[in-house]
């Protein structure tokens, strides 16, 4: 009888310890988190200023040749927003060539000089994401050149906008140790208010499922209106809005195989 009691007592103690450990772990598990980037900024002062003024740490991605890019990037930095270079890259459909675009037929020197010029167009640069690029982002050599450049600029992160399923940009970022993350949701491929709301809800569901999710939108009236309305409700959804750099850290906690160094 004594041995039975001892076994029961030991089992009870083990169960209690397990419960305490599980509870402690649950208490340290971060809430689901999202980050947001508004692309294509720099050419329209009024609408782009509304994007910069969105509540919370919504990142702002600026085209390097935008007439208002430098001024608005300074405003974004003053409002504690992360500033990204929305880097024009060659697309499969090359009928609509972009200003300052990185192209497949560039030599290493031409590519690097163009990239340097684009990066220098923005003050307070925190990271880079691709504008278009459905052709260029599938070429490992050119993506390696991009990551080599980013290695020379301490502290930059990379966001793969995933304009093609064949992209190798994030793979090369990992190989070169560049902090990075990929876009999960485009908020406004359909810029109607109803469609933007559906996509925003999808972003939240992905964050609940995976712990983190990154959404990209544009300075469209419906997108800005939905975000102004919804960002104040994230606490009710038990979801946090964090800077992109913080989302990368949180995502990497859930993917311990990622080896890039944030302290580069």
**pLDDT of residue 264 exceeding 90:** no
**pLDDT of residue 89 exceeding 70:** yes
Give the model's pLDDT for residue 29: 66
177 contact partners, CB below 8 Å, separation of at least 6: 151, 259, 260, 261, 264
CA distances from 73 to 81, 140, 145 (A): 9, 30, 25
Give the model's pLDDT for residue 98: 74
Give the model's pLDDT for residue 261: 42
Give the model's pLDDT for residue 259: 41
pTM for this model (two decimals): 0.85
pLDDT tens-digit series, residues 124-160 = 999 999 999 999 999 999 999 999 999 999 899 999 9
**pLDDT of residue 12 exceeding 50:** no
CA distances from 28 to 60, 205, 218, 221 (A): 30, 21, 34, 38
pLDDT, mean of residues 43-65: 97
**pLDDT of residue 1 exceeding 70:** no
The token pair at 167 is 């992209």
Give the model's pLDDT for residue 131: 97
Classify residue 90 by its DSSP letter: -
Rounded to whole angstroms, the Cα distance separating 74 from 64 reads 14
pLDDT tens-digit series, residues 58-70 = 999 999 999 999 9
Say which range, 75-89, 102-116, 246-260, has the weakest mean pLDDT: 246-260
pLDDT band at residue 189 using 50, 70 and 90 as cut-offs: very high
pLDDT tens-digit series, residues 193-207 = 999 999 999 999 999
221-230 and 193-210 helices, crossing angle to 10°: 50
Instruction: Give which of 82, 183, 79 is closest to 125, Cα–Cα.
Output: 82
pLDDT band at residue 26 using 50, 70 and 90 as cut-offs: very low
pLDDT, mean of residues 68-73: 98
Q: Are 117 and 88 in contact (CB under 8 A)?
A: no
Q: Are 171 and 152 in contact (CB under 8 A)?
A: no
pLDDT, mean of residues 15-20: 41
Give the model's pLDDT for residue 20: 37
Give the model's pLDDT for residue 172: 98
Concatenate the DSSP letters of all residues of 12-70 into one string.
Answer: HHHHHHHHHHHHHHHHHSPPPEEEEEEEEESS-HHHHHHHHTSSSS-EEEE-TT-TTHH
């Amino acid at each position: 009888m004594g041995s039975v009691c001892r076994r029961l007592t030991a089992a009870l103690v083990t169960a209690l310890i397990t419960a305490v450990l599980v509870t402690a772990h649950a208490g340290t598990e971060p809430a689901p988190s999202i980050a947001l980037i508004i692309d294509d900024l720099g050419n329209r002062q009024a609408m782009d200023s509304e994007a910069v003024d969105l509540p919370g740490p919504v990142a702002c991605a600026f085209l390097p040749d935008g007439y208002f890019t430098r001024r608005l990037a300074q405003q974004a930095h003053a409002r504690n927003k992360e500033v990204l270079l929305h880097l024009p890259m060659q697309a499969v459909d090359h009928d609509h060539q972009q200003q300052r675009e990185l192209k497949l037929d560039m030599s290493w020197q031409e590519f690097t000089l163009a990239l340097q010029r684009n990066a220098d167009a923005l003050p307070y640069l925190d990271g880079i994401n691709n504008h278009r690029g459905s052709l260029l982002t599938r070429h490992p050599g050119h993506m390696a050149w991009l990551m080599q450049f980013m290695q020379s600029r301490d502290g930059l992160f990379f966001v793969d906008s995933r304009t093609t399923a064949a992209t190798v940009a994030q793979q090369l970022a990992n190989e070169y140790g560049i902090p990075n993350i990929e876009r999960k949701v485009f908020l406004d491929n359909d810029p109607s208010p109803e469609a933007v709301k559906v996509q925003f809800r999808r972003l939240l569901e992905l964050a609940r499922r995976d712990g983190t999710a990154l959404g990209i939108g544009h300075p469209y009236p419906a997108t800005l209106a939905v975000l102004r309305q919804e960002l104040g409700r994230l606490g009710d959804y038990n979801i946090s809005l964090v800077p992109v750099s913080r989302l990368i850290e949180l995502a990497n906690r859930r993917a311990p195989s990622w080896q890039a160094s944030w302290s580069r």
